[in-house]
Amino acid sequence: MIDKVIPIRAVARPDPPPFRGEVPVDTRARALRDLRISVTDRCNFRCTYCMPREVFDQSYRFLPHDALLTFEEIARIARVAVGIGVQKLRLTGGEPLIRKDLHRLVAMLSELGVDLALTTNGSLLAKQAKDLAAAGLKRITVSLDSLDDATFRAMNDADYPVARVLEGIEAAAEAGLGPIKINMVVKRGTNDEGIVAMAERFRGSGRIVRFIEFMDVGSTNGWRMDDVVPSAEVVRRISERFPLEPVDAHYEGEVAERWRYKDGAGEIGVISSVTQAFCSTCTRLRLSTEGSLYTCLFAEQGHDLKRLVRGGASDERLRDEIAAIWAERADRYSEVRTAETARLRKVEMSYIGG
């Protein structure tokens, strides 16, 4: 039995220098702008590229509830982070909607006055969309890897139907959580035959589909380069059916490369972490469900904030710590990825979100 696959090593650190009032910039001149917050390490799906069932089985030991940050602790860290320049907050998991009364946290974070979004597998969205919107959530992203029911059930490995995710998407739209983004992780030989069908289904709907290259996150998803469908191929396949043209990014550091339909029926995005690394403009910091900060999706270790939060540290001490962690950041995993680095024991995506 694999007891833990998540490296949760806390780095021993001296007291940080005092924050000087400017937005923290790392060693590669990247400013801190985004904080992704994982609210649970649990999920009701067992997607093969994220939480394969042979690892995350009935004997797998998830974090006990008292190890998780409380909503109040999360909101405090987020408030401090916003105070030093964070402009966007995103709630992730695991599956965030599993966390009981998540709308309470949304209400707390919405008071900070920054962009607040959430990523979900959509399974519980139909029941919670109205409460989330009423609490102040502005935007939502739904993971949907295939419109073919058999393929989707096989990929989520929980026998969950496509129709119920689509119901969640419509409920989110009715609640005003838009524009809604749809994320499709593309894996060759698994769901890539559905690329054009996915684009066609949401053309003209106001929904934006983003096609994501299969990535070597964590250490359990069996990643191989042969399984990657390059974004250039995705764009070519769609454009052969529905002609596309490139669109400028909304802002510097935008992860998805934008393409719009020439006939005006909307746009798609492609996220190319493998074939077109965007490390040089990455502005994201990640807070794990038990209070560790990670400076990269492919990190091998985190920085323990919970010891400060539960140890009586002041907001100023938390501020200095977060700023110092970012200032020391030098991550560029996707730019230097090799077969060897891909096999490193990295933090699991289900622990810090995508």
- 56-76 pLDDT tens trace: 898 999 999 999 999 999 999
pLDDT confidence of residue 222? 62
Question: Which is more confidently placed, 7 or 343?
Answer: 343
pTM comes to 0.90
Q: How much is the pLDDT for 220?
A: 57
The token pair at 115 is 């962009």
Q: How confident is the model at residue 49 (pLDDT cuts 50, 70, 90)?
A: confident
The token pair at 49 is: 């590229």
Among candidate residues 113, 130, 119, 70, the one with its CA nearest the CA of residue 96: 119
345 band by pLDDT with thresholds 50, 70 and 90: low
Instruction: Tokens for 307, please give them.
Output: 């010891």
Q: Would you state the structure tokens that stand for residue 257, as one six-digit string?
A: 């490369």
The confidence band for 151, taking pLDDT boundaries of 50, 70 and 90, is very high
Beta bridge pairs of residue 211: 184, 270
Residue 138 or residue 10, greater confidence: 138
What pLDDT sits at residue 15?
81
Beta strands in the chain (DSSP E): 34-38, 88-92, 115-120, 139-143, 181-186, 208-213, 244-247, 257-261, 267-271, 284-287, 292-294, 303-304
Distance CA 200, CA 211 (A): 13
Q: Which two tokens stand for residue 339?
A: 């077969």
Note the pLDDT of residue 3: 42
DSSP-H helix ranges across 141-253: 149-156, 162-174, 195-202, 231-241
Distance (Å, rounded) from C-alpha 163 to C-alpha 134? 25
User: What's the whole-number average pLDDT of the chain?
Assistant: 89
* Token representation of residue 1: 């039995």
Residue 170: name the closest of 134, 136, 201, 212 by CA.
201
Residue 291: what pLDDT? 95
Distance CA(283)–CA(296), nearest Å, equals 10
Question: Over 80: is that where the pLDDT of 335 sits?
Answer: no
Neighbours of 89 (CB within 10 A): 23
pLDDT of residue 221: 59
d(CA 77, CA 55): 31
And the tokens for 288?
A: 């794990």
Q: Are 95 and 120 in contact (CB under 8 A)?
A: yes
Mean pLDDT of 175-180: 92
What pLDDT digit, counting tens, does each position of 75-91 carry?
999 999 999 999 999 99
The tens digit of pLDDT for each residue in 255-266 reads: 889 999 999 999
pLDDT at 235 over 60: yes
How many Å apart are CA 328 and CA 308, to the nearest integer?
19
List the chain domain ranges: 34-352
Show contacts of 62-66: CB within 8 Å, 24+ apart. 63/289, 63/290
Tokens of 174: 């009715």
CATH class, domain 34-352, is: alpha beta
Q: Look at residue 95 and tell me whether its pLDDT is greater than 80.
A: yes
Supply 135's token pair: 């609490």
- AA identity, residue 272: S
Q: Check residue 253 and give its pLDDT.
A: 73
pLDDT higher than threshold 90 for residue 37:
yes
Banded model confidence at residue 254, pLDDT cuts 50, 70, 90:
confident
- Between CA 43 and CA 283 the distance in angstroms is 26
Q: What is the pLDDT of residue 50?
A: 83
Q: How confident is the model at residue 347 (pLDDT cuts 50, 70, 90)?
A: low
Q: How confident is the model over 4-26, as a mean pLDDT? A: 71
- pLDDT of 349: 65
Q: Which residues contact 334 (CB under 8 A, 6 or more apart)?
A: 273, 274, 277, 278, 279, 298
pLDDT average, residue stretch 285-306 = 90
Selected residue with higher pLDDT from 200 and 54: 200
List % helix, strand, coil for the chain (3-state, nearest 5). Answer: 35, 20, 50
Rounded average pLDDT over 294-320: 92
In the prediction, which pLDDT does 1 show? 37
